[in-house]
Structure formats: structure tokens, C-alpha cells
Chains A and B, each alone.
Chain A
Amino acid sequence: MSAVVAEHDDHHDDHAHGPAKGLLRWVITTNHKDIGTLYLVFSLAMFFVGGAMAMIIRAELFEPGLQFVQPQFFNSMTTMHALVMVFGAVMPAFVGLANWMIPMMIGAPDMALPRMNNMSFWMLVAGISLLASTLFMEGGSPAGGWTMYPPLMLQTGKALPFAIFAVHLLGISSIMGSINIIATIFNMRAPGMTLMKMPLFVWTWLITAFLLIAIMPVFAGAVTMLLTDKFFGTSFFDAAGGGDPVLYEHIFWFFGHPEVYVMILPAFGVTSTIIPVFARKPLFGYSSMVYATASIAFLSFIVWAHHMFTVGMPIAGELYFMYATMLIAIPTGVKVFNWTATMWKGSMTFETPMLFSIAFVVLFTMGGFTGLMMSIAPSDFQYHDTYFIVAHFHYTLVPAAVFSLMAAGYYWLPKWTGHMYNEKIGQLHFWLSAVSVNILFFPQHFLGLAGMPRRIPDYAVQFADWNMISSIGGFIFGASQLLFLYIVIDTIRGGTGEKVTDEVWEDAHKHGLEWTLPSPPPYHTFTTPPAVIPTEHI
């Protein structure tokens, strides 16, 4: 297999002889591994920026009353925390994984469009910088929630057009990244790598990329309407001119619901990749996983109004969106069943990536169940805009999407760096995170059911106890993530010193092409397509 990778052939456009020297390498690089690293490092940085905002939120909510920040700034924090985490941390982290892994998983020498790849990364940086700059503007950064509902959002100060242009940049960046991923998967697969032999991570990203191309332009349209309403006298959402703010909610959630799946489908792919390796079994029901992912993606386009059951829809609308939403539980259930069946009677070992993946399955299912509760339109009137929904989507995003990213990090770090991470600290990181994330979010279910509204800096004293517990969990969770930062840096600098093999994990080379490459892989890989396609994962 080393014969496959030893050749550095020279018809690759820019740098046939390895990376450019110095810092400029990272600016001009078109190499999928470099760009993957850029995305991952950037998203990790944003994870801590967004996390710091979450710490401000939890500190303020530690006790009733106003202690640390003004309500306006508090609302800025909830808004910016969401935007930074969604567009700056989770999405770019998955794009980073896609950049690193998709070419190596399908036996391609690089992404199909390397220059566009570079551009989409730097547009992301520009977009997030523009968004972050609003924190220092007159009137503060956007504080109307990440959903940016008018008319509230239109009361934003000087920051409004900047936030909107930031969304435009992030959207263009995502669309370019998605086009690149689709082109890579369609046109760059090694001979013999048929669609139904692709690792599930590749499949889930293919479907995610299609979702992104379909929804990001709709979001761009919605915020453009906000912009013209505010500055150019249109009345899309302006009631005084015959518009309707509820229209915005429809357009936003047409984007917003598929968007939340954009953050979870690649996580499904990561989990489906990791569990078979540590259960030492093929993935149970490979093709049903592919179809389930596609079904979830399709359903995501026709359920959006379940986010707005309380706007006063006709009863027929409520019923339709209720039943359509419940349907999503079926393909999702298929997935959870398959992961469980993969582990069934497997020779399991519990290294850190596996621990995070198992926690993903358990805790994502809990987030899914509360989602099912909220899909029931009449009950949703109680849950709407309370901490119950905050608990729900944080269960699907933190111990699900973020845990799968952690799992992916631990799983592929030895491959990327050639060094083994410190397993003891990794496990400590896992247990601290898994316990504290539940202390953080589980009590929020109780708060929501008792009626505590979301997006408020102060609350009635009856909510004090659970909020304090939730905040304590939040602080432990936040602090635990510093362990991850330490492990990543430590591993890059040599880790345990243990020499890792090409396959790193026992028999991993049967599960994916990336494990047939040296660790770390050379700058250019698969310039000649691989001879054998592993099939253990299907």
C-alpha cells in the first residue's frame, strides 16, 4: 500500500513538491489537508469564543436578578452564541472533516476545486470577522435571537447591515464548499469506489451538501428582505406597508429546519464510521442508513412550520406539520437501531472516540424524544419559547453534534498528526463532559415545563435552584473543554510519543481507505488511485 502513496507526481497545479514555506502556506494553500486543518483550527477557536459567550449567559443566570450584564448585552450574547456556534464552530468543523477525510476516503488526490476551496475558507473567516465586529458597534451586536425575527431584529443598531452581510458571506462560503464536496464525490472517486461502497461519512456529507445548496440561498433571500425593509422602503415584513412579520418566520424556517440537519447529518456519518471499528463488526444495515439519511433530508423540507405552531395557523396546517414532523422519527429510529445493532455482540473496546460515539447515540436519542414531544402541536403551545426547547436543541447539538466532532477528533487525530493522543486525559475529558453536559441541560427540561421563557436575563425565584445547578454543569462543561484543547496541542507536539501504525485502530484498514495511508499521510495522497477498496464498513 505504500507504493500507492509514495509517488509525488507533478501535474498538480501549484505546489508539486509539498507545502509552501512559512505562514503564507496557510493563506494560499489549495491542499485539501491544509484547508481541512484551517477549518478545524478555526472552528475550535470559534467553539471557545461561542463557549465564552455561553459562560456569560450561564453566569448571569446563576441567580435571579441582574448581576453581571445588562439585558441588552445578555440578549446579544444569546444571539451571538448561537450564530458563532452554528456558523463558526459546528458547520466549519464538519467542513474541515470533509476536506480532510472525503478525498482520503474515496481515493481522490484532492478536492475537485482546490482554489474555490481556499476561497470558501477565507470567506468564512471574513464572514465571522464581520459578525464579530458588530460586538463593538454603536447599539451593540444583534440581540434579536439567531432567528432574526422582524420587527425586533429591525431595531438592531448600526450592526444590522453588517450582520446581514456576514450572513451573505457565510452563505456563499457554505454554497461554494458544498459545490466542491458534491463535485469531489461525483467526479473524483477512485475506480471501484461505487456510490454504495462509499463510507457513510461521505454519504451523509453528500446529502448535507445538497441541503446547503438548497437552503442557504433562501436564508440569504430572507435577510436581504430584512435589509431592504430597513433601508430601502420595501414592506416584506413591515406591517405598516402591508407586509407581515410571520412571512419571515416561514421563509426563515424553510431554511432553518434543514439547517439544523446540516449540523446533525455529518454527525450521523461520523458515528456510523466509528462504531463499526470499535465494535469490530461491519455497520449494520449500510444501505438502510443511506436511505434513512436521504429520507431525513427530504422530510426536513416539509416540516418547517413546527417551529411556529403558535403563530395562529389554520388547524389543517397544524395537523399537517404535526404528522409530517412525527414521520422523521421513523428514519431516525432506523439509524439508532442500526447503531445499536452494530454494537450488538461486537467485540467492543471503549477508547475515547467510541465513548463519545456511544454517548452520541444515547444523548441524541434523548434530544430526539423531546423533539417528538414538541411535534405534538397542542402540547407545543406549552413548550414554545421556553427552556424546554433550549434543552431539546442543546441535547441534539452539544452531546450529539459536538460529541461526534470530539469523537472524530480523537479518532482521526493520530492519523492526521502521526502521534497518539493521551488516552487517560481523553477519557477524563469524556467523563467530565458527559456528566456535566447532563447537569447543564437536563434541568432545563424542568425549567421549561415549569414555564421559564428562553432568552431572558432574569427570572422568577421559583426557577433559582435548577438554574444554579444548570450553571454549575455549564461551568464544569466549559472548563472540561480546555482538556480537549490541551490534548489537541499535546498530540500535535508529539502526544504520548507512541509510534502509531498506518491503521492506528485494530483492523481499521478494512473500514476505510484513510487507514491504508501512512500516519501522518504525505502532503499529496492517492495521486494514483488505490488498488483495493475496503468494504468492511458496508
Chain B
Amino acid sequence: MEHVIILGGGIAGTTAAEDIRKGNASVEITIIEQEHHPLYSRVLLPHYVKGKIPREKVFMKTWEWYAAQRIEIMAGVRVDAIDIQNRFVTTSEGRELPFDVLILAGGGELNVIGGEPRGTSYLRGIDDADELIGLLKETGMRHADDRRGVVYGGGFIALEYMNIFHHFGVSCDVVMRGSGFWSSVLSAHSQSVLARKAVDGGIVLHTNEPEPTILGDREVTGVRLASGAEIPCSILGIGIGMHPDRSFYRDCDIEINHGIVANEYLETPHPSVYAIGDGAEFLDGNVGRRVVYGNWMNAQSQGRAVAKTILGDRQPFALVSSYATQLLGMHIVFIGDVDRVAAHEIKQGTATETASVEEFYRNGTIVGAILIGDISSRATITARIASNSKTV
């Protein structure tokens, strides 16, 4: 092994690089990253936007760290092609870099809607967070009745916008494609608990809406719904998920489904080509099928696991990962595999006006859970999934 190339300098790719270096002092390691920044925590961006931490605290590595580790970081560079047979990648700078080991850690592509006049915000990275802070400052200078925000989406990023707008006293209308929050994942009861919390917090929900039309040429002035109703705003926060860059990987003869297809060792069918992080669809032994998890714990742990495999300690990847967030202080935790279509049975546990617990089963085995408002069973359920305990 002479040269490891890692596509993507997020937590998955950087952890892999760091751990490979710990076990091999001589191998060349190159990270190719589209953004112009050293590793930072996307999870910290809401804290940064709210002013809870200074900008420098968002960064987890410095440029000097890469140099000290002898990890080459090609920042602001895209990979235009991967030649799997001849084992080299072509970068946006026109360079061809040969590899012995290739780690695909590039995450996914953001879903976007047409037009991005100023005031449209995606919160995909720290540059967006910087811009959002500026927009919030401008909005804060307006009269209190004229601080208006709209959110398009009903998932994790949309929730962050709601919390941020609430924090800054910006009014918040939420336009959702489905019937409510995570409409393809949550039960009607879970959705109603979250909707009640949002409405009690002054948020106005518009459900089952097609993509709204953005109003304003250079600057956002509002959105128009399908009914013709217009909602004025100066900030439009969009959080409608991610998708894999299917055409790119297919062009490179890399199998892709919901993510880059990999086995329980995070290996693709191509020798010494691995997939990790948000963009990997790997075989999860805890739940018995291939899954994509878009959370920090999973990405970092996969970086560690793939480094071990590359260094010769090949073990199947096993982790019950979870994603925790909150809506105006109401705790929400997704654990393991919470795909409603793949589940054979979903049991509604706690079901009160302020709490909902759902457990997901396949072949009689618990594979995932959603906890809203009552997280007391988190550790127990995580342990049950880890041990693949059978239902009684």
C-alpha cells in the first residue's frame, strides 16, 4: 500500500486518514475536499449561528494539523472522474492521482429548489452559517412585526431553522411537502405531538404543499403557495434532504442505490475501494439489511473501522447509531433503522399529548426506534438493538 486517496474531508474521511496514519507512518494519504476549510463540525453550526460559540470553536482541525500528520489535503478541489479499473482519480484541476486504496467519504448532494435570491439559506456548511448570521442581523434591525422567516421542509435541517428563528424572535411559517414532520417516517401520533409543540411555540404549519414559488428577484420577499397565498419573509430556510450523486458514481462503474453499496466491512465490490459516512449504503448486521445513516457518530465510527480494516484488522462494522435533535426544547431521538417501508411491524409505545415512542421491528427483532418528548427508554432500546433481542 503506497497511496490512500480519500474523497471527502468530513468527519468520516478525516477520521480514516488520522487512524491510518497512526498505524502506518509511511503511506501517502491524500484527502480531496470540495470545501475550502479544514475539518469542522456541522453539528455545531446551529450553536454558532445562535452565538453560543465563536467561529473558531467550530473547527476541529487546523491546516497545521494536516501538515504535522503528513496528510495532504486538497481543499477546494472536486473529483471529476474515478477510473476504477486503472485505479486513478481525475481532479477538477486536471490532475490524475493513482491510488492503491480509495475511500469514498463524500456524503451526498443537497436537494435544492429553483432560484437562490439573497435571503435563501441552506445551512449546508459554515459559509452558509456565516451568511445566515448576516441575514439574521439584518432582520433583527427591522421592526419586531417585520422579522419574518419561512422554512421549507420538515426534517432535521428544517427543525434547526425553526429553532434558530425562534431563538432570534423571527416569525416562522413552515411549508412542508408531506402531512407533517418526517411524514414518511413518523406515525400520525408522532407527527401530531411535534405539530402541537410547534404551534404552541408560535410556528405556523402549511402541510401537503408542493414546492413554493420564491418571490423576489435579487432578495427574497416571500413565498407563494399553490393556493396563491403569499407569505412575506426576508429569510427562507430550506431543508429538504440530500441525495446521492448517482450519475457520477454510475459513470465511474460504482454501484449506487440509496448510497454507495458496501458490505458489512464497508468494502465495495472493487478491491480496496471502500465507502463510509453519509453516502455509504452498508450492510448493518444489527438490523440485517443495507442502510444509509446520516449522522456524525456513524460517520466517525466508520472512519475508524475502515482504517482498522485497511491496516489489517478486518472486522464487520457494528454500531447502533442515533440522531438526537430538539424542537423548541422537545427532545427527539432516532435510533437505528427507522424505515417504515422496510419494517415488518411498528409498535406505538408511549402515546400522550406531549410524547410518542415508536419501535420498529423486522422478523420479530427490534431494529430501530423513535423517541419524542420521552427519551427515558433510549439506553434500553439501544442495548436491545445491539443485542438483536427477540420480541417476547
A binds B: no
Q: Which residues of A are interface residues toward B (Cβ below 8 A)? A: none
